[in-house]
């Protein structure tokens, strides 16, 4: 019996349903897991995505795209295939794609981040929900045992201390991050009482899409809206990494710069990037998160995509699962996922 999802040059394809999941070449029918540029590309004739992410997709791909939306858990049938979308916990509107046909169930995860046991879920997107299935297609961006995230409250406490110390010294705190997802997650966790928050022009339109979807973010300013230069010197500045070398940065005077990414777990990458600080904050599953998510699906077959594919495949095989890899054109955090903005040449291939 043919697999429900196979590899084609255009992307991951469902033969009985005649549609693609996050295709990287133009197709007639696409199901999109989330709005990051390596998963949601311009030019498809029809898009299907989760309702909360509609604003982001239109902001990135254009108002005129032919977009159909589904609420989480809602089911439609196309060519005899039942399709539903389920929260992935990655960014606003991120979804796992559940595909059911002739009694078989497959789930394609897209990018995801489970909430660790006892932790408070990220309030800027719906928390990850495991979906039972026969075959699970999982990402593996941080699919190595060295990647284990610390609790969010500890990480944001570090960011707030860094910002407060800089503000007291009259230095702007420039925190480089990806414009979609990471910036809004940071906004949801920092303490806005420390000072004003200034967002780059690549970030602010996405903030508006989050607010329009009902996500409560603290007030943010464009740099031109800051009237008092003293405020610029105590501000937290969220921007893509490429902004550091642009004329836009000169307005802030003396700065301390930092980078927020899961890659900051490795000290060598911190030194290579040359920032004053590195904060290990990621929107992807760490090693324990990957294993817990895979286990919760109950899948006996696991297909691993973008990231540390051989390591995760080998580990799963040792646990008695049928595991293999799919070759895709998705990036990881700071790769295609980040439009090459935040990490540029410093991030490893994912």
Looking up residue 12, the CATH number of its domain turns out to be 3.60.15.10
- pLDDT recorded at residue 344: 32
317 and 264 fall within a common domain: no
13 and 133 fall within a common domain: yes
132 and 174 fall within a common domain: no
Contact of 49 with 57, CB cutoff 8 Å:
yes
231 and 180 fall within a common domain: yes
139 and 176 fall within a common domain: no
Q: What's the rounded mean pLDDT across residues 231-243?
A: 94
> CB neighbours of 244 closer than 8 A, spacing ≥ 6?
174, 176, 257
% of the chain with per-residue pLDDT over 70: 93
Domain assignment of residue 198, given as a range: 152-279
Residue range 37-49, pLDDT digits in tens: 999 999 999 999 9
Residue range 118-150, pLDDT digits in tens: 788 889 999 999 999 999 999 999 999 999 999
Predicted structure pTM score = 0.92
Confidence of residue 268 (pLDDT cuts 50, 70, 90): low
193 and 260 fall within a common domain: yes
CATH at 236: 3.40.50
Backbone angles phi, psi at 292, to 5 degrees: -70, -40
- pLDDT recorded at residue 332: 60
The structural domain count of the chain equals 2
* d(C-alpha 304, C-alpha 311), whole Å: 10
């Amino acid at each position: 019996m043919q697999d429900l999802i196979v590899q084609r040059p255009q992307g991951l394809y469902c033969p009985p349903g005649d549609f693609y999941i996050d295709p990287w070449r133009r197709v007639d029918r696409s199901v999109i897991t989330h709005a990051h540029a390596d998963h949601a590309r311009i030019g498809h004739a029809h898009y299907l995505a989760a309702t909360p992410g509609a604003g982001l997709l239109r902001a990135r791909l254009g108002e005129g795209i032919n977009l159909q939306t589904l609420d989480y858990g809602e089911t439609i049938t196309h060519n005899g295939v039942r399709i539903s979308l389920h929260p992935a916990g990655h960014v606003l509107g991120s979804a796992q794609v559940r595909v059911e046909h002739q009694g078989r169930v497959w789930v394609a995860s897209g990018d995801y981040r489970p909430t660790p046991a006892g932790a408070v879920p990220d309030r800027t997107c719906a928390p990850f929900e495991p979906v039972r299935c026969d075959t699970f297609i999982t990402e593996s961006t941080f699919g190595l045992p060295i990647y284990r995230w610390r609790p969010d409250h500890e990480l944001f406490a570090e960011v707030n201390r860094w910002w407060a110390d800089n503000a007291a010294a009259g230095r702007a705190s420039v925190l480089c991050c990806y414009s979609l997802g990471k910036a809004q997650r940071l906004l949801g966790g920092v303490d806005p009482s420390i000072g004003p928050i200034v967002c780059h022009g690549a970030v602010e339109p996405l903030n508006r899409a989050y607010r329009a979807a009902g996500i409560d973010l603290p007030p943010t300013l464009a740099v031109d809206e800051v009237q008092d230069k003293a405020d610029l010197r105590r501000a937290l500045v969220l921007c893509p990494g490429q902004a550091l070398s642009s004329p836009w940065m000169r307005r802030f005077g003396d700065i301390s710069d930092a980078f927020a990414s899961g890659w900051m777990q490795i000290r060598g990458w911190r030194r290579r990037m040359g920032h004053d600080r590195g904060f290990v904050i990621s929107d992807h599953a760490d090693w324990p998160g990957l294993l817990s998510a895979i286990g919760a699906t109950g899948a006996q077959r696991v297909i691993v995509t973008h990231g540390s594919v051989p390591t995760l495949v080998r580990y799963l095989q040792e646990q008695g699962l049928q595991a293999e890899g799919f070759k895709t054109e998705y990036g990881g955090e700071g790769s295609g996922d980040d439009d090459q903005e935040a990490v540029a040449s410093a991030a490893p291939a994912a």
